[in-house]
Structure 1
Amino acid sequence: MRSSLRLLALPLLAISSGALAQTNFRPGYVVQPAGDTLRGEVDNRGAQYNGTISRFRPDAAATVVEYQPQQLAGYGFVSGQHYQALTLPGQVPTKAFLEVLALGQLSLYHYTDAAGKEHYYTRKGTEPLLPLVQRDTTVTRVNAQTGLPVTTKERQYPLRAVLWSQMADCPTAQVAVKSLELKESQLLKAVTAYNACQGGAATYARPARTSKTRFTALVLANRGQMDIERVGKDKVQSGWSAGGGLGLDFAPAFFNPKLTLQLQLLYTQHSFTKEQAVSDAQLVTGTDGRINYSIVQNTIQIPVLLRYTYPKGPVRPYLQAGPLLSLFTKNSADAVLTYKTYAGVAKTENSSLEMRSYGIGGTIGVGVAIPTAVGDFTLEARNDVTDALVHDDGISGKSGVSVVAGFTFGK
Structure 2
Amino acid sequence: MDLRLLFSLVFVLLQVTYAYTQRNFNAQEGFYINLDNDTIHGKIRALNDLSEELHFRKESQKRFKVFAPTEIKEFGFKSGGHYVSKNIASSEKKNVNLFLSRLFTGQVTLYQYDDIFYVQKENEELILLEQNNTVIDEKYVREDKRYLGILRLLTLDCESVQKLIERVDFNADDLTDFFIAYHQCVAPENESTQNKRTLKVKKGIKAGASFSKVTSYRDGVTPSYPEFKAFNHYTGGMYLNLSYNDKISIQPEVLITKKESSNIYKQYSVVNLQLPISLYYTFPTGKTRPFLSVGYVFGKTLKDNIKDLRFDYKINNSKSEYGFRGGAGLLFPLSEKLDIGIEYTYERTLTNGRGYDVQFGVNTNNIILCASF
Structure 1 gap ranges (5+): 113-117, 141-150, 217-221, 277-289, 309-319, 334-354, 366-411
Match for residue 279 of structure 2? Answer: 250
Q: Choose which of 306, 315, 321 in structure 2 pairs with 1:295.
A: 315
Check the 8 A contact 1:109/1:120 in 2, yes or no: yes
Establish whether residue 100 from structure 1 lines up as the match of residue 102 from structure 2.
Answer: yes
1:60 and 1:260 map into 2 onto residues whose CA distance is 45
Check the 8 A contact 1:104/1:195 in 2, yes or no: yes
After TM superposition, list the pairs within 5 Å mapping 1:170-319 onto structure 2.
Answer: 170-200=158-188, 203-207=192-196, 249-250=278-279, 252=281, 261-264=293-296, 292-297=312-317, 301-304=322-325
Match for residue 358 of structure 1? Answer: 361
1:294 and 1:300 map into 2 onto residues whose CA distance is 18
The Cα shift of 1:95 comes to 1.3
Check the 8 A contact 1:54/1:67 in 2, yes or no: yes
1:255 and 1:84 map into 2 onto residues whose CA distance is 24
2:300 and 2:346 map into 1 onto residues whose CA distance is 17
Match for residue 67 of structure 2? Answer: 67
The Cα shift of 1:248 comes to 7.5
Amino acid in structure 1 at the alignment position of 2:363: I
Question: How well do the aligned residues superpose, as a CA RMSD in angstroms?
Answer: 5.0
The Cα shift of 1:27 comes to 0.7
Report the secondary structure of 1:73's partner residue. Answer: strand
2:131 and 2:259 map into 1 onto residues whose CA distance is 52
Question: Which structure has the larger Rg?
Answer: 1
TM-score under structure 2 length normalisation: 0.60
Q: Cα–Cα, structure 1 residues 293 and 99, in superposed 2: closer, same or farther, change >3 Å?
A: same
1:194 and 1:45 map into 2 onto residues whose CA distance is 32
TM-score under structure 1 length normalisation: 0.55
The Cα shift of 1:195 comes to 0.9
Amino acid in structure 1 at the alignment position of 2:134: T
Check the 8 A contact 1:226/1:235 in 2, yes or no: yes
2:175 and 2:260 map into 1 onto residues whose CA distance is 54
Note the alpha carbon deviations across 1:311-360, whole angstroms, 9 max, x for none. Answer: xxxxxxxxx98322244656988xxxxxxxxxxxxxxxxxxxxx886332
1:7 and 1:99 map into 2 onto residues whose CA distance is 42
Aligned residues with identical type, % of pairs: 17
- How many pairs were matched up? 289
Q: Cα–Cα, structure 1 residues 12 and 126, in superposed 2: closer, same or farther, change >3 Å?
A: farther
Q: Cα–Cα, structure 1 residues 36 and 236, in superposed 2: closer, same or farther, change >3 Å?
A: closer
Note the alpha carbon deviations across 1:37-88, whole angstroms, 9 max, x for none. Answer: 1000011111x3x000011110263442211111111001111311011111
Report the secondary structure of 2:315's partner residue. Answer: strand
Q: Choose which of 10, 18, 24 in structure 1 pairs with 2:8.
A: 10
1:237 and 1:136 map into 2 onto residues whose CA distance is 45
Q: Cα–Cα, structure 1 residues 330 and 272, in superposed 2: closer, same or farther, change >3 Å?
A: farther
Q: Cα–Cα, structure 1 residues 120 and 291, in superposed 2: closer, same or farther, change >3 Å?
A: same
The Cα shift of 1:225 comes to 8.7
2:124 and 2:97 map into 1 onto residues whose CA distance is 15
Amino acid in structure 2 at the alignment position of 1:57: R
Q: Cα–Cα, structure 1 residues 223 and 291, in superposed 2: closer, same or farther, change >3 Å?
A: farther
Q: Cα–Cα, structure 1 residues 255 and 127, in superposed 2: closer, same or farther, change >3 Å?
A: closer
